Amino acid sequence: MSKEYPKEPRVGVGCVVFSDGKLLLVRRKYPPGRGKWSVPGGHVELGEDLLEAARRELEEETGVRARPAGVINVDTVVVRDPLGRIRFHYILVDVLLEDPRGEPSPSGDVSEAGYFPLEEALRMELTRSSRGLVEKLAKGLLPIQSPLPQEKYEFVEE
């Protein structure tokens, strides 16, 4: 399915990762959101588990490994072209990931990556969906840590 001018919405996953109270953000290389900051993330692949997609996208875009803890937010993004046609349509599912390992290093679809305090993130040029997410996080409306342990995604040292 084409990313642009789709026949149906695409499912995307956003990766919400905190380290020392700071949120991991990346600068996007490609539309939608080119040049803007957002949480790491991308498309859920056919047959892929949502939490596994979050783990994979986080590692692909930043080199950071973390344990998926669960879904904390769902959002819809629709971008229209100048003629009013739907250029992009995403259902974005934000997943909290915990216990991050490794320093962020941009790759793939991102040009920069780093951890930022929420107050600083709100002053950055964020994508619309990430701005809404960061605002909810800053107001304490979304959890920043899981209340339940996750045994499915244990780290194995290689």
CA angle 107, 5, 48 (to 5 degrees): 50
- What does the block give as tokens for 135? 């605002």
Q: 59: which residues sit within 8 A by CB, 6+ positions away? A: 65
CB burial string 43-65: b at 16+ within 10 A, e below? ebeeeeeebbbbbbbbbebbbbe
Mean pLDDT score across all residues of the chain: 91
Contact 77, 90 (CB under 8 A): yes
Q: Which domains does the chain have, with CATH numbers?
A: 10-138 (3.90.79.10)
Show the tokens assigned to 79: 């971008």
Determine the Cα–Cα distance for residues 30 and 103; give it in Å rounded to an integer.
23
Active site positions, annotated: 112
**Residue-wise burial string across 83-115, b where 16 or more C-beta atoms lie within 10 A, e elsewhere:** eeeebbbbebbbbbbbebeeebebebbbeebbb
Checking if the pLDDT of 38 tops 60, the result is: yes
- 3-state SS assignment for residue 53: helix
Give the confidence band of 147 by pLDDT, cuts at 50, 70, 90. low
Q: Are 58 and 40 in contact (CB under 8 A)?
A: yes
* pTM of the predicted model as reported, rounded to 2 decimal places: 0.88
Place 31 in a pLDDT band, splitting at 50, 70 and 90.
Answer: confident
Taking only the tens place, the pLDDT of each residue in 48-100 is 999 999 999 999 999 999 999 999 999 998 999 999 999 999 999 999 999 99
